[in-house]
Amino acid sequence: MVVDNLYYDRSAGISSAFDFPDGLLHRALLNIYAKGFHPASEIEVTLFNEIWATMDKALIGAFGNMGPSDPDAEFFKELQLNNAVFSAFKVHRAQNDMARLLLGTDGNLKPFEQWSKEAMPIADHQCRTWLRTEYDTAVLRAQQAADWRQFEREKDVLPNLKWMPSTSVTPGQDHKRYWGTVLPVDDRFWNEHRPGDRWNCKCTLSSTDEPPTSVPTGPADAKDGPQKGLENNPGKDARLFSDKHPYRTETHAGARKAVDRLLKRLKEMIKEMPDHLAPEEKTAIARNNLEIEKALESTKGKPMTVEDADKQSANPNYVPEYILDPKGDYMDKTGNRYSLNPEYKASEHKRFSINCQTCAPAYVLRLRGFNVSAKGRTPDTKMEYLSRQHSFEAWRNIDGTPCKPALTADWMNAKGYKQMSAKRYEEYFMETCMEPGVYILTIGWKNGGGHATILQRFDDGSLNYIEPQVYDNRIGAKRSIDELCKNGAIKPIATRGILRVDNKLFNSDFLDIFEK
């Protein structure tokens, strides 16, 4: 196989926790087997997302969470996109190696069970054995990239670099003659030899003001040169793996075009995201967008404005039971009169007035650019499940873990409050929704029942209530939070709370709550 010799025995002694979920691998195989998938011109999204996310984990470990003012913020973005390039070429290679096994000797498509069994050795190598080696090397090289950036910033104080011995229990001999070498940061020696140019090399560099040493001499040996894929300095070109890696040099037909097309799409999505999202949040959301596009079989459009995302578009099948009528027989608490809506049919329309748990996420995905709308609440469905105090389960953190909302009861306990009031709800909203972004709120009402809706903090500092279930033309999309504060339950149940979701991933298990 394409990198067997290159990676041979390179994972010995590596202790990083790593696995590729069986469910994701099975889903990817189903996608490759599907009639509409074109392995030469497409990149299988499930494999790509998981492998790219794995490579990006190496960056987080080395650079930490990046703020927009961090000196390495732009460099970090380049690293992430280059990880995407590497992952895309890897997946294109894997999917085509597996797709070559789809047809039998008679020219007919093999049954899925037979083909998946025959393709599994390739999938297992690519997504487990080889990916483990790639990840472990990425961890080391990401740290070396972070170190190099620091060396460059501090070379006026610590002008030299020292090659430190390997920390491996059984270090190789190929770098041993360089241990202890001290040379200036800008010495061309580091362009040809440095820690990290061997797979899973555990040598490091250390900045120092020790005087330079001589360059090690000895007979030239081809084995001393960098291995394929590791010829570059990731601290200079923002690539954990070079363009000479076999995934790049031994490609199947169509690889370059397929990768370029995918990268163009990713860059477009990342560029249109708001600046208050961190780089790692943007890339994770871009991956999530690809997953959603695949599941919905539709392409995300440009991000929508608040009005376009709301304005009854998140819940277009809603029909009010009562309509404003100055001569109507019904009156609300504010003195407005209503009459029964002759177009309202309870059997058809009621479910669209009790589907708030679906309208709120529909609004959030519409803000991203997905033209989705809420289905009506139906018994024994995921819509019904979310309505039973499970609204926050539709979202995941960018690392895939469950989200933890800011529960109203926990906030009350921290404040020493026994019950809520309009003033305290305002305090709760303001404190919990401090950062610009979109928040899902679940709130109980004074007179019983509850609701899932949206709070949104805008860049100008304003905090508004957005009601995607029922749009009010008299008010517009941005409503006052006073409506919520005045009507909130005095003693909310333990599961009510607030969760910021514009920086989260939508759980694709719940995509069937939407009309598409």
Q: Which residue has the tokens 């894997």?
A: 94
Q: Which residues pair with 162 in a beta bridge?
A: 182, 206
For residue 332, give the amino acid letter.
D
Phi, psi of 457 (to 5 degrees): -95, 120
Map out the domains of the chain as residue ranges.
22-216+223-272, 300-316+353-515, 319-350
Q: Which residue has the tokens 């694709």?
A: 508
Give pLDDT, residue 334.
78
Q: Cα separations (Å) of 284 from 67, 205, 270, 288, 397? A: 16, 31, 10, 6, 9
* pLDDT per residue as tens, the chain (516 positions): 567 667 755 544 444 455 788 899 999 999 999 988 999 999 999 999 999 999 999 998 899 877 777 899 899 999 999 999 999 999 999 999 999 999 999 999 999 999 999 999 999 999 999 999 999 999 999 999 999 999 999 999 999 999 999 887 777 677 888 999 999 999 999 988 889 888 878 889 999 999 999 988 765 555 667 889 999 999 999 999 999 999 999 999 999 999 999 999 999 999 999 999 998 999 999 999 999 999 999 999 999 999 999 999 999 999 998 888 888 888 887 788 989 999 999 999 999 999 999 999 999 999 999 999 999 999 999 999 999 999 999 999 999 999 999 999 999 999 999 999 999 999 999 999 999 999 999 999 998 999 999 999 999 999 999 999 999 888 899 999 999 999 999 999 999 999 999 999 999 999 999 987
Q: How far is residue 348 CA from its own chain's centroid?
A: 37
Give pLDDT, residue 219.
54
d(CA 89, CA 97): 12
Phi, psi of 444 (to 5 degrees): -95, 155
Q: Cα separations (Å) of 419 from 64, 413, 441, 487, 496? A: 40, 10, 18, 13, 14
- 202 DSSP 8-state letter: -
Q: Cα separations (Å) of 147 from 153, 266, 310, 472? A: 10, 28, 47, 55
Count Cβ atoms within 10 A of the Cβ of residue 215 and give its class: 0-12 exposed, 13-18 middle, 19 or more buried.
exposed
Give pLDDT, residue 323.
87
- 173 DSSP 8-state letter: S
d(CA 206, CA 189): 15
Token digits of residue 481: 């939070």
Give the length of the chain.
Answer: 516
Give pLDDT, residue 15.
41
Is residue 71 within 8 A of residue 153, CB to CB? The reply is: yes
Question: By three-state DSSP, how is residue 204 classified?
Answer: strand
- 296 CB contacts (<8 Å, ≥6 apart)? 370, 372, 511, 514, 516
pTM of the full structure: 0.87
d(CA 41, CA 130): 24
Give pLDDT, residue 68.
75
d(CA 506, CA 514): 12
d(CA 202, CA 164): 9
